[in-house]
Structure 1
Amino acid sequence: MEKALASWSGEPVEVVWRPYQIDPSAPVRAVPMSEMLQDPVADEALRACAPGLSPAENRARVADVAAAEGLGEQWGSGWRAGTLEAHRLIALAYEKGGAELQERVVERILHAHFVDVQDISDLAVLTSIAAATGLAEEAGYTGEPALETLPGAEHVRELLLVGKAKGVRTSPTIVANGLALEGAQPPETLREFLEDAARHTPRRLPAEVERLRHAESLLDQRDPLGALTLLRPLLAEHGDDRGVRLLAARAYFASAQLNRARTTLESLVAESPDDSYARHLLGRTLQRQGRHEEAASHLTLAAVMTPDYA
């Protein structure tokens, strides 16, 4: 990306880093990468990433590429580390100092992980990075345990959910003006992508509508708890909106929060008795609660209004 932008003559580009967890199941306490590489499941996955090469051979190949780019002789993570706290630091850097400060923090974190073989889940390592990049001063804190008291974990989790809702499936994924490009790409491809993005004018939706659509996308991806996380502020600010409440009811049902689903659906049906979908879902909710007689009346009425529900 840096090489692509070095020869870019179009509109100014601001690079903002958003979170994505390649290994969301990584332990809170980091373990040596050598232990993970001995896992048969990990070995199979890594072989799929580099057909024809063993994990060790592929790591050596990547290290050679990194050395040729001037990133140092040693290259390769030494720890399987949880990254939530590092993503919090990166998000905080953008909030406090914009893209320039965030870029410095990201550079330090990547260097610590891939070159210095440090554990980036260690708060002491992240606190040192915050101090060295000027983030600690911008954020107005000093000393240990600085990061433990910082806000931002929920914000990062929400950013992760938004990325999932948008269809981000791998890292890196470059997003510009609503277009996306997956995977590691050469500078020429990135420049062509930026040229396409510069010509593209995405449709701008109100923030509330966009959040609702993201929540619906997560529900379609069978992540009802993620959908409810994104719906939380909408329920607080627009709790009387029928669309918000119906989507919440669907998420409650899908996550087996049946009492909440029933309460929400009962109010929706009382307001609009001819809403066959709400009535059908209420019937199914009551069915799952073992209230079969109550369920039958709603399911029968829903089927009369919409035969597909029969």
Structure 2
Amino acid sequence: MRIEIWADMVCGWAYIGKRRLEAALADPAFDGVPVEVVWRPFRIDPTAPARSAPLEEALADPAVDTALRVCAPGLSPGENRARVSEIAAAEGIGPRWGAAWRASSHDAHRLLFLAHEHGGAELQNAVAERVMRAHFVDGADIGDRRTLAAVAAEAGFAAGAALLETDAGEDEVRELLLIGKARGVTTSPTIVVGDRALAGAQPAEVIREFIARGGHRRELPDEVERLRHAEALLDRRDPLGSLVLLRPLLDAYGDDRNVLMLAARAYFASAQLGRARATLERLVGDTPDDSYARHLLGRTLQRQGLAEQAVPHLSMAAAMSPEYD
């Protein structure tokens, strides 16, 4: 059984969720059941600066207030910190509790991804434990690569320090963040088993019952799953994210009509009208009776200020499909 935890290393609930998941998995019902726990990235504060700032100063920034509410909907950052501190103590995390820095977690997520790539789920879990302990218990700055290097060494991932000084994991982490968004992950932590998700650091008994029910996720070819995620991002009004996921498909399957149509829609939605027009003209040339492609081409030409060129395409689309009239 694979359990995914989509979480941010700077979210206190993620650390509490880790403890509660461990307690849930300690239930005798799971004895002998092979379980793999994999950490996936989520950002509650994507605007955190590359250079960390003291948290007390950062909390005065309204943008930080808004970001931290993603970690605890309905609570102010102050209320959340007080509640998390009490619960963390009850879960045995401590003795001291409290982050000291507003730190970007991007490199921490890279470190976790690389740990999984080099040593699997067990090493990744050890790194996750030490990263969150450094942030919440030791008050260390996990936005500093020197801190992460020390954390990696403590976890048995000595190669992590050198890898962080390269661009290793950059693209993969950014793609995983987009995939999480496409799959509907909106809070930290979110535990996923198969096609089922449990949002928040729920009590251990709730997590145990959730895991016991299992979950099946249909295995699809990587290309098909990537296309579906790209389409989901477009539906979630993130055309630029959609294009990031589409890029490998455009490189490898640039003649595939489904790939080209989704790219055209994303170009149009992101106001890349020149690229949208070129792609749609190709699609219309290949399949003149595609009413949607003609309609979108006409709308693209309109937005480019080419009303006369747009009319024939819009008229033909309306004649073929009345909903475009």
Residue 30 of structure 1 deviates from its aligned partner by: 1.2
Among 264, 267, 270, the alignment partner of 1:255 is: 270
Q: Distance in 1 between matches of 2:321 and 2:76?
A: 57
**1:16 counterpart = 2:38:** yes
- In the alignment, which residue of structure 2 is the partner of 1:290? 305
Name which of 205, 209, 224 aligns with 1:188: 205
Q: Is the 8 A contact 1:32 1:78 kept in 2?
A: yes
Tell me the equivalent position of 2:230. 215
Is 1:63–1:73's contact at 8 Å kept on the other side of the alignment?
no
2:252 equivalent in structure 1: 237
| Deviation for aligned residue 1:274 | 0.4
Structure 2 counterpart of 1:88, one-letter code? R
**1: distance between equivalents of 2:282 and 2:67?**
48
Displacement of 1:136: 2.4
**What CA distance in whole angstroms lies between the structure 1 residues aligned with 2:119 and 2:135?**
23
Q: Provide the rounded CA distance (Å) in 1 between the counterparts of 2:73 and 2:302.
A: 49
Distance 1:44 1:166, change over 3 A: closer
* Shift in CA distance, 238/58, structure 1 to aligned 2, threshold 3 Å: closer
For 1:135, what is the secondary structure of its paired residue?
A: coil
> What SS does the aligned partner of 1:181 have?
strand
Cα distance change of structure 1 residues 204 and 50 upon mapping to structure 2, 3 Å threshold: closer
Is 1:63 the equivalent of 2:80? no
Q: 1:12-51, aligned counterparts within 5 Å?
A: 12-40=34-62, 42=64, 49=72
- Give yes or no for contact 1:74–1:115 (8 Å, CA) kept in 2: yes
Q: Deviation string for 1:5-47 (max 9, x for gaps)?
A: 1115343211000000011111111111112322356557868
Tell me how far 1:281 sits from its aligned partner.
0.6
Whether the 8 Å contact between 1:258 and 1:289 is mirrored in structure 2 is: yes
Q: Which amino acid in structure 2 is aligned with residue 130 of structure 1?
A: A
Contact 2:44–2:68 (Cα < 8 Å) also in 1: no
Partner of residue 158, structure 2: 136
- 2: CA distance between counterparts of 1:299 and 1:175? 44
Could you tell me which residue of structure 2 aligns to residue 275 of structure 1?
A: 290
Cα 1:160–1:3, aligned 2, differ >3 Å: closer, same or farther?
A: same
The 1:210–1:46 alpha-carbon spacing in structure 2 relative to 1, beyond 3 Å, is closer
1:100 to 111, 117, 122: 122
The normalised TM-score by structure 1 is: 0.91
1:85 matched to 2:107? The reply is: yes
Structure 2, unpaired ranges of 5+: 1-20
Give the conservation status (yes or no) of the 8 Å contact 2:45–2:64.
Answer: no
State the 1:242 CA deviation: 0.3
Q: Does 1:6 align with 2:20?
A: no
Question: Which residues in structure 2 correspond to 1:129-168 (within 5 Å)?
Answer: 129-137=151-159, 142=162, 147-168=164-185
Query: What CA deviation, in whole Å up to 9, does each residue of 1:247-288 have, x standing for no partner?
Result: 000001111111111111101000100000000111111111
| Mean Cα deviation higher: 283-292 or 272-281 | 283-292
1:72 is aligned, of 83, 94, 110, to: 94
Identity of aligned residues (%): 62
Task: Provide, for residues 67-126 of structure 1, a one-character-per-residue CA deviation record: whole Å limited to 9, x for no partner.
Answer: 232222321211111111110000000000001110111111001110111111111111
Q: How many Å separate the matches in 2 of 1:54 and 1:156?
A: 29
Asked whether the 8 Å contact 1:8–1:191 carries over to 2, the reply is no
CA RMSD of superposed structures (Å): 2.1
Preserved contact between residue 175 and residue 245 of structure 2 (Cα < 8 Å): yes
Alpha-carbon distance in 2 for matches of 1:45, 1:264? 37
Structure 2: distance between partners of 1:130 and 1:269: 53
Cα distance change of structure 1 residues 294 and 50 upon mapping to structure 2, 3 Å threshold: closer
Native 8 Å contact 1:252 1:258 kept in 2: yes
Greater displacement, 257-266 / 31-40: 31-40
Query: Highest relative contact order (Cα 8 Å, sep 6+), 1 or 2?
Result: 2
| Local SS of the residue matching 1:18 | strand
Q: CA deviation at 1:289?
A: 1.1
Write the distance in 2 (CA, Å) between the matches of 1:164 and 1:45.
16
Change (3 A) 1:223 1:8: farther
Q: In the TM superposition, what is the alpha-carbon distance from 1:201 to its structure 2 partner?
A: 3.1
Partner of 1:110: 132
With the length of structure 2 as denominator, give the TM-score of the two structures.
0.87
- List per-residue Cα deviations over 1:199-236 (Å, max 9, x = no partner): x4332222211111110000011100100111111111
Report if the CA contact (8 A) 2:246-2:263 is conserved. Answer: yes
Counterparts of 2:224 and 2:298 in 1: how far apart (Å)?
Answer: 28
